[in-house]
Structure formats: structure tokens, C-alpha cells
Structure 1
Amino acid sequence: MSPLFPRFAGELAEAAEARARPRRRLHLPIVGASVVVVVAAGGIATAATGVWSPQLGDARRGSPTASATGVPDEQLARLAVLRRPATAGDHGAEVRRALTFISPQGIRGIRTDAVRLLAPAPAGARTAGAEVLIPAQRANGISDALCLFTVDPTEGGGVGCYSTRQVLEGQAVGSMQRNATPTRTERAKRQRLMRRAMRENARRRAIVRRRVAPTLPRGRQARILALRRAYLDAGLLAITVPLRDRTVEAVYSGIVPDGVARVVRRDAGREHVGVVENNLFRITVPGARQGPGTLVWQDADGRVLRTIAPGG
């Protein structure tokens, strides 16, 4: 998940959106081989209400709620990282930065006292940065969700939220890939595609605004939320531009329960191994795109604990 055109993407997004709605701002995380522009219609960042009160979200994305409740007993029993006391790293700069990228869309009740830094950014990392565990009361329809946020070394990051059962069954896995730096011609083409997509998005948003205008509430914040829901229903909160890129490496990471000492990824006759620390594994596959593969959990003696086939 690397930035494909960092120098002009932000300026381009800001300018295009400003022509339609001057007060709106844009955030541009780059995911895989697509450019995804997440459009936030306002919002004010607020501090958490738990014992530890970091900033959650920001003025562009809005702020998810916080919760002082503890994680469920089953999660405590299965994940040692949640049983240990919080460290300075758990409340450090990498974690605080990650929490500012969390959007209130789909996530609520972040259990701030249970947030953990699973792994700092590797030295010289260009694909995946720090890995942060963010437990929440509810995320994407999952109760007592365990969200894994992978910080992009340049901007933003990617988040996946899982149930306790998904963690135990080996489904709490995400991936990112880094592509080769685009040429000047490629950047120019992407700029044209992005401008075209943003003009179309602004045109369709204007239609939605005119349609819902008679039903919008009076208060500014209420109007913003109502518009955001209307844009979401119309599929206009994000702009996606598919791109082709030369892949440099893919990185797979995931949450595993206690007892798993390493994870082996098998794909097309190749094996790559990730050592587990803080209930997290991370595997880097050079020269490969993100794709399906078989994961094998092993204990400290090399015994196979579970084999997870693609899609299984």
C-alpha cells in the first residue's frame, strides 16, 4: 500500500473537491493497486473518555467513540498481548499516529486501554509500517472486534477488523503491496484519470445534494452527517481508480492466538516464514503481488497446529 503519486495527489484532490464544496477536505490512502480517495464531509476530533485518552480520528475523518470497558474474557485467555500491562510503546508516537487515521465509519467504542503496539515499523520499511491492535466494542458489524491497523510509512494505512472466532480460525490476515516508483508518463496518466474521476464524483454529489436538500436537518453537524449518509448510500464516499503497477513486494500480517510460534506461507511451491511476536506474524514476499496462499501455524517445536487454505 504505497503512495503512487504523493507530490500532487493531495493538491489535486483538494482542488477538485473545493470546486464543488469549498469546506470539504480529502484524505488519500493508497491501497494495493488502486488509488482510493476517502472523502470526509467535516467532523471534529475529540479525545477518548477512557483511562488513556489519545486523539481518535481527526477533523477530516471525524472521531470514533471510545470505551473504558475491558476486552472479553475469551480474548484475554487467548491473546497474551492483551494480558500484559501497557508499555510506553503502546502509548507512543506510532500508536498515536495510527489512531488519528481511524474513521468513525463502522467503528465505535475503541477500548483505548487495550490498544497495543504489536510491532514497530521495521528499519527502512517502505511497504508496511507499525502494526497496532485496536480492540473495539463494534466494528463493521462485528461485536468485540479486534482491529489490526498497519501504518503506511508515508501516509495513512490499512485496517482489518475480526471477531475472536476469525482470529482462532486463522482468518485475521491482511496484506499490502509495494509497487515500483511510476515513471513521469505513468504519473501524468494517473493524474488525468484522477481528475476525470473526481469531476464525475463531484457531479454526482451535486445531484445527490439537490435531491436530499429538502429533507436535511437545520444544524450544521447534523447536515454533514445526513449528507455523508446520502453519499455513502450513493457509493460516493470513495473514488477508486484501478491502476497497473510493477510489484516490488507483498507483505502479509495477521493476529494469531497463544501457542503459535511461527507461520509458514506457501504459494506456487515457495515457502516464506514469519516469526510470531505479540500474537502477530508478518511475512514479506519479494517480487510478488498480493494473492491467495496457504498458511500453516506451527508451535515452538515445529508441530503443525492448523493449516488454513485460501478462502478457508
Structure 2
Amino acid sequence: MSLNIDTNKSWELGVLLIPGYNLAEMSHIIEPLKVANHSLGHALYEWKLFSLEGGPLVSSCGIQVHTLPLTSGPILEQLDALVICASHEVYQLPLKSFIKPLKQLGDNNTMLGGVGTGAYYLYRAGLLDDCRWTIDHRHLGDLRHQGATPNRAIFNVNNNRFTCQGGSTSLDMMLHIIHLHHGKSLAITVAEEMNCGVLRTPKEHRLDNKISPYGWPNSLQQVASLMENNIDEPLSLSEISGYAGLGKRQIQRLFKVYIGISPSIYYLEKRLNHAHKLLFESELTVEKIAILSGFSSLPSFYKCYKKRFGLPPLKARHQKALMWSA
């Protein structure tokens, strides 16, 4: 198990709010726990809101909530976990005041998490040195230049730490934690209640969110549909150009403007995501999955899949099976 969770007792979470925090992200942390309690018929999960000084704290959208001070020793000691919800202006925040209490919680083996830029506090306190972690995508490059090692996963849950890139990924992360704590059945129930259609895993990357048809012109949607409907026998750019009635340069320009990547990378991502889905939702052999995903060479499929998801296909399937059977 990736977190030290006692499944035989209730679980108390502290949510540490930073001025200008995202209200939706805070809700994505708390609401799944409330829904889980309602589904179970008893209070398995409890939560408290904290800030550095305590008292009323205003979110980025101007809504105010009441918080307890982070210095409330006895209350902090009762927490099983603390997650930090911060603003986007990570470098303008008073870091020093937070480091001591966070280190004390870490010394007490309290689970520590960060939503979006919240992970920055844990990083600066030296509490992410031995785990995989991520942060708001806008700070990935900058932090890597500083020598930090955040990754592109939408969330990470390991070594008593849990971090996500923010936004809707905080809901993905909490559903995963509920699964680790109380089983897959409860996680699915909560996801269904919250109209969340997919239980995403830590191996998902932000690129899946970035590529969205909303606001695309009809010409780009037509090209995307051609790719979507020709996964097993990929079309060349010339063929797509002919079917869509668009010039190749025009297609490349549409992808650059609206998606930010080339048509070939987009197409490859679609094929790999299709393979990823088949790998975990079918009993097909890897060889068959490679063919159905448009790969004529098995070594090429292995290489592309590992680069995209971090593990070879067979190992990824094995680890996924172990995770869901836990």
C-alpha cells in the first residue's frame, strides 16, 4: 500500500488553506469524503480547516471560510493526514512560517499532501525527497531548473505523501485514496455519485486534459474524428488531408494553435491511450493490443508505451492488477 492507513478506524484530515486558495480544489478534497460517509452510513472520514493564523480566510473567488490556527498542537496531533491547498502565486507566499509545523507532522508520521502549488511547501520543507510527486503544471519547468524532481502525472500517492496538479485532479487523487483506504467498491460508489465517469490512475498525464474539442473549429474536429476512427490502421497526414479537404500545412497550423502539439504526436497519444485502455479492460495479448492500436512492430509499441506511461505494457498490467486487488 502506498499510504500508511489504518483501515479499522476513522480517518481525520486537516486541510491547510493558503490565502487565495482555490475553493473548487478544496471542495474536491472534502466532498468525496462526505459522499463516502453518506454511502457507508457512518462517519468514516472527518475533516478540519486550518490556516497559519486561524480565523476567516478568503478564497481566490472571494468566499470566506473559518479556519483553525496551524499552531493548534493537540488538534494537529490527532490528524491522520494534512493536505495543503494554495494559490497560484507560489513564490509570493510566506514559506518559513509553515516549515516547522509541517516538519513536526512529518516526524509524527502524519500523511502529507499538496494540491496544485500546495506541494511547494512540502518540497521546501524537505518532505518530498523520497517520493514521486507533482505540482501545478505551470511550475514544473521552473522547479526542475532548481533541481527539484516533480513529474507530469496528474497525481502521485506514495511513501505517505499525496500530491496532484490541482483542478479536477484533486478529485481523482481523493478517489484513489478512498480506494486504498476502504476498497475499490466504495471509490466507485463515490465516483458515480459525483458523476465522475473514470477512476484515473497516477500514471495518467496532463496531456489527456489538454486535448479537448471544446472551442475547436469544425475542420479540426473533423481531423480528430478521422484519427479517432482509424486507430488500428493509422492514416498518413496526406490521407487525412485528402479526406478532410484541408492542406497538410493547414492541419499542422490548426494543431499548433488549438492544441499546442503536432498532428503526429496527437495521433500517437490517441493510439497509446487506446492501447492503455485495452491493456487494463480486456484480456487480449500485448501483441494483439499492439496491432489494434496501429503498431506493426512490437518493439516500437513497447518503446512508445514505456515512454508514455513509464512502464512496459506487461509490467503495467501486472502492477495495475496488484493495485486493484489490494
- Report the TM-score, using the length of structure 2 for normalisation: 0.26
Higher normalized contact order (CA 8 Å, seq sep 6+, divided by chain length):
1
Relative to its length, the structure with more helix (as a share) is: 2
Q: Which has the higher strand share?
A: 1
Larger C-alpha radius of gyration, 1 or 2? 2
